[in-house]
Amino acid sequence: MSDARPHTVRLELTDEPGELLNALRPIAENGGNLLSIYHERGNLTPRGRIPVEVDLECLPERFSGIVEALKAEGITVIQAGEEQYAEEVSVVLVGPLIETDLSDTLRWFEECANLSVLDLSLSAPEDDRPSARLRLAAHAGGVSDALARVRELADEKGLLVIEPQLDRETAA
């Protein structure tokens, strides 16, 4: 798919067996290639549904067909658009993640227009401080800005951030 472009579709799904599969089928059947799925089962939308973010790639002319196929299947599409997430960075947050409401922290990332959470690993040992490793995707050239936003969040919640040292090209 040399001319394929990345896109993100935000969906609302009911909490029933097979709903995620029902949402993925129209994407595959209409030429979409899955890149990642962020299924936030522990968090509900105002309508009581589960928010799901699907990153995919497809030819630009196929994207609207994918969105229409999702709607035809009865899938609620909250947002659909081309995303320019071209860079990834991993950070570790250490500290009172649970006490400061982890779902609130994830919601904060969801509301950031210039970055997306691709992966989250949480460690909460009883005898030590909890930590979370987040793999983030940022818009092209936006890693430095994304890391600055992560530091803002960490300051607000009293968390320690362990972040990569960026080379001069990435930081520019």
Q: Does pLDDT of 64 surpass 50? A: yes
Q: What is the pLDDT of residue 169?
A: 46
CATH number at residue 153: 3.30.70.260
Q: How far apart are the first and last CA of the chain?
A: 30
**What predicted TM-score, i.e. pTM, was given to this entire model?**
0.51
CB 94 within 8 A of CB 131: yes
Q: What is the pLDDT of residue 117?
A: 75
Residues 14 and 76 placed together within one structural domain of the fold: yes
Q: What is the pLDDT of residue 171?
A: 45
Domain count, the chain: 2
**Digit-coded pLDDT (tens) for 107-162:** 777 677 667 777 778 888 887 788 988 888 776 677 888 888 889 989 999 999 99
Helix, strand, coil shares of the chain, percent, nearest 5, are 30, 35, 35
Residues 53 and 120 placed together within one structural domain of the fold: no
Higher pLDDT, 86 or 88: 88
**Digit-coded pLDDT (tens) for 123-138:** 888 877 889 888 887 7
Residues 77 and 93 placed together within one structural domain of the fold: no
Residues 90 and 165 placed together within one structural domain of the fold: yes
Q: Which of 55, 82, 109 is the last residue of a domain?
A: 82
Q: What is the pLDDT of residue 166?
A: 67
Residues 46 and 109 placed together within one structural domain of the fold: no
Residues 142 and 110 placed together within one structural domain of the fold: yes
Dist CA 80 CA 11 (whole Å): 9
Domain that residue 100 falls in? 85-171
Q: Which of 67, 82, 97 is the last residue of a domain?
A: 82
Residues 69 and 37 placed together within one structural domain of the fold: yes
Q: Which of 23, 47, 82 is the last residue of a domain?
A: 82
